[in-house]
Structure 1
Amino acid sequence: MSIEKDSNPSAFTPNDHLANERTYLAWLRTGIGIMAFGFVVVKFSLFVKQLGFVLQTQVATPSHAYSAIIGIFLVVLGMLAILFAFLQYRRTDKQLKTGRYKPTTLLTTILTGVILVISILLIAYLLLSV
């Protein structure tokens, strides 16, 4: 089912375009936030080691490199979120210009599912490393 504003393809308003841009910018911020979190996860073990040198004490760090894998995955996920947000923005813009807008929740559903899986894995990792 599509929502048709008018039979005139130029019937979309500037507010429609601006709302599409705001949504895109919100997705950009989300992607950048996910990437920043991934960067922090990767660099955290390095920070703990450096903290041990500064305090001149032995700080126990996990011997496996799961933080690097998780962090890199989060950076890739952020990059994909930005890419898919751009594609969604372009698709919505085209639909608005032709007057045949059809909403979709695919991007939101996929990102929510992936973030939930990552959250569960991070919780398990933290519980096992205590």
Structure 2
Amino acid sequence: MIPHFTDHSANERTYLAWVRTAISVMAFGFLLERFDIFLLFTSRAAAKVTEGLHTQASQWLGLGLLLVGALMIVGATIRFYRNRKAIEAADSSMYGDSWTARGMAVLLVLMAIFLTLYVARQIAALS
């Protein structure tokens, strides 16, 4: 029997949840990076010139989300091994949130706000 098996399996489930979330963020970043193709197709289908249409921001934001997803996997891996070591240790330790998780959350919120404003501006340029 593996000592503290339930703790280890909970740690692994949490790690896998972080990895799934990171993959989703990266997939959304890839989709957003390709958002310019949709905007160009829409403007051509509308058969009108859209001077206020900017596609560079979606490419940079998409690349940023790809980077954030990769950093999430790195952070999740570090956290997994740190928690694994704490579970196996004989002494008890405090469980605390890391500043990197908070920083990533703030970064994602800022990206979401920027994306909302960006899409609203693009929709306004198309109409």
State the TM-score, normalized to the length of structure 1.
0.77
| Structure 2 counterpart SS, 1:46 | helix
Deviation at 1:114, TM superposition (A): 1.3
8 Å Cα contact 2:11/2:84 also seen in 1: yes
1:109 maps to 2:85: no
In 2, are the aligned partners of 1:38 and 1:75 still within 8 Å (CA)?
yes
Number of aligned pairs? 119
Name 1:128's counterpart in structure 2: 121
> CA RMSD of the aligned region, Å?
2.4
Q: 1:51: Cα distance to partner? A: 5.8
The answer to whether the 8 A contact 1:48-1:59 is kept is no
After superposition, give the CA deviation of every residue in 1:32-52 in whole Å (9 maximum; x if it has no partner): 011011000011111343466
Q: CA deviation at 1:56?
A: 8.7
Q: Is the 8 A contact 2:12 2:80 kept in 1?
A: yes
Report if the CA contact (8 A) 1:39-1:72 is conserved.
yes
CA contact (8 A) 1:49 1:59 kept: no
Equivalent in the alignment of 2:84? 93
Q: Which structure carries more relative contact order (alpha carbon 8 Å, separation 6+)?
A: 1
Q: Is there any run of 5+ residues in structure 1 with no aligned partner, and where?
A: 1-10
* Deviation (angstroms), 1:113: 1.2
Query: 1:41·1:71 contact (CA, 8 Å) conserved in 2?
Result: yes
TM-score (normalizing by structure 2): 0.79
Supply the AA of the counterpart residue of 2:74. L
> Contact 2:11–2:80 at 8 Å: present in 1 too?
yes
**Does the residue aligned with 2:54 lie in a helix, a strand or coil?**
coil
Identity %: 29
Classify the secondary structure of the residue corresponding to 2:110: helix
